[in-house]
């Protein structure tokens, strides 16, 4: 059973400036729910009710969101608007939340290592809330948990992207094992088209074994002077300990304006058709 899910949420969100100057990008709403709430709902639906969040400066709104606001609750108790708080109340009731701060934004790998204190020595999920996933029919993290239950290993979610976009992602070189599962042999962070081993790109969902922390500690800083999770996972891939899952569903890169707009349109259409 994997009960903990880590949310690295300390990044600056420079692709979305100026909106993210004072507001965490994870709090930007798709319709009326912030991105990170969709992520926590996915974690809970996948059996993970210990939510561990790596925050940073200017991210206080995330902690406030997953807490009770007594004045507000008092104001709307018993009114028609009370229903609007149903989804967040449900998460607060069912999950526990813990936080730690990343003091210097030294990359996703560094953010995950910062989360060690909240995770300890057990396998855990990682959700990047700005990659909003809609699993079909089950949540993407839940699809990954099912694979982990059959084959305990580090598991990364992947999707096919156009070759013109590989430079934005970690890209894998892997052996197809069938049913959407791949054994990862090599991984490259943000390669040029010439250097890319293919077009299977890593997106923001991982299941990691706790040994990743030691590997991260001994990994050198990579692209852009940041500690890259891709580099650490590559060490484990070389030992045959990394699987990739081509999940069923959609993903929206809500860290970019176009992905954010696509997600908004998708969820609005869904709402209208319900
Ligand atoms: P991104 O690559 O999207 O970086 O991080 P970013 O800084 O948030 O956004 P841009 O590229 O400047 O627009 C992927 C995830 O890793 C987290 C981010 O919060 C995001 O969820 N992250 C990244 C950290 O927590 N710490 C870091 O040092 C870097």
Is the sign of the CA dihedral 244, 202, 141, 64 positive or negative?
positive
Cα–Cα distance, 39 to 34 (Å, whole number): 9
Centre a 10 Å sphere on the Cβ of residue 172 and count the other Cβ atoms it contains. 27
Task: Find out whether the beta carbon of 205 lies less than 6 Å from any atom of ligand 1.
Answer: no
Could you tell me the pTM of the whole model? 0.96
Per DSSP, what are the bridge partners of residue 183?
175, 243
Distance 111 CA to ligand 1 centre (A): 9
Nearest-atom number in ligand 1 for the CA of 15 is 13
39 lines ligand 1 (CB under 6 A): no
Q: Which of 255, 257, 259 to mutate to test the pocket of ligand 1 (most atoms within 8 A of CB)?
A: 255
Q: Which atom of ligand 1 is nearest to the CA of 20?
A: 13
Residue 187: which CATH number? Answer: 3.90.550.10
Task: Look at residue 77 and tell me whether its pLDDT is greater than 90.
Answer: no
Exposure string (b/e) for 38-59, b if CB count within 10 Å is 16 or more?
bbbbbbbebebbbbbbbbbeeb
Residue 117: domain span: 4-273
Q: Are strands 131-135 and 249-253 parallel, antiparallel or unpaired?
A: antiparallel
Structure tokens at 253: 């890169």
As for how many domains the chain has, the answer is 1
For a substitution probing ligand 1, which of 108, 156, 189, 259 has the most ligand atoms within 8 Å of its CB?
A: 108
For 38-73, the pLDDT digits (tens) are 999 999 999 999 999 999 988 899 999 999 998 998
- Other C-beta atoms closer than 10 Å to the C-beta of 273 total 6
pLDDT 10s digits, 132-179: 999 988 999 999 999 999 999 999 999 999 999 999 999 999 999 999
How many Å lie between the centroid of ligand 1 and the Cα of residue 202?
14
| Pocket mutation for ligand 1, best pick of 6, 7, 11 (most atoms within 8 Å of C-beta) | 11
Q: What pLDDT, in 10s, does the model give residues 96-143?
A: 999 999 999 999 999 999 999 999 999 999 999 999 999 988 999 999
């Amino acid at each position: 059973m994997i009960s903990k899910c880590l949310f690295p949420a300390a990044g600056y969100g420079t692709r979305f400036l100026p909106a993210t100057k004072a507001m965490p990008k994870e709090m930007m709403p798709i319709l009326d729910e912030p991105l990170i709430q969709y992520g926590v709902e996915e974690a809970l639906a996948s059996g993970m009710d210990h939510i561990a969040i790596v925050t940073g400066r200017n991210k206080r709104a995330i902690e406030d969101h997953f807490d009770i606001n007594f004045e507000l609750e008092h104001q709307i108790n018993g009114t028609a608007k009370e229903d609007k708080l149903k989804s967040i109340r449900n998460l607060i009731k069912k999950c526990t939340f813990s936080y730690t701060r990343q003091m210097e934004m030294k990359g996703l790998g560094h953010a995950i290592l910062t989360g060690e204190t909240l995770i300890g020595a057990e396998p855990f999920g990682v959700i990047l809330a700005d990659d909003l996933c809609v699993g079909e029919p089950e949540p993407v993290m839940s699809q990954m948990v099912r694979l982990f239950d059959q084959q305990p290993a580090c598991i990364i979610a992947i999707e096919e992207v156009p070759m013109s976009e590989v430079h934005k992602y970690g890209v894998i070189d892997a052996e197809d094992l069938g049913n959407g599962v791949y054994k990862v042999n090599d991984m490259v962070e943000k390669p040029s088209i010439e250097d890319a081993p293919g077009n299977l790109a890593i997106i923001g969902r991982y299941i990691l074994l706790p040994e990743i922390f030691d590997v991260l500690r001994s990994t050198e800083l990579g692209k852009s002077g940041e500690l890259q999770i891709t580099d650490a996972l590559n060490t484990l891939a070389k030992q045959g300990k990394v699987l990739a899952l081509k999940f069923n569903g959609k993903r929206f890169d809500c860290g970019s304006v176009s992905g954010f707009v696509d997600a908004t349109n998708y969820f609005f259409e869904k709402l209208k058709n319900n």
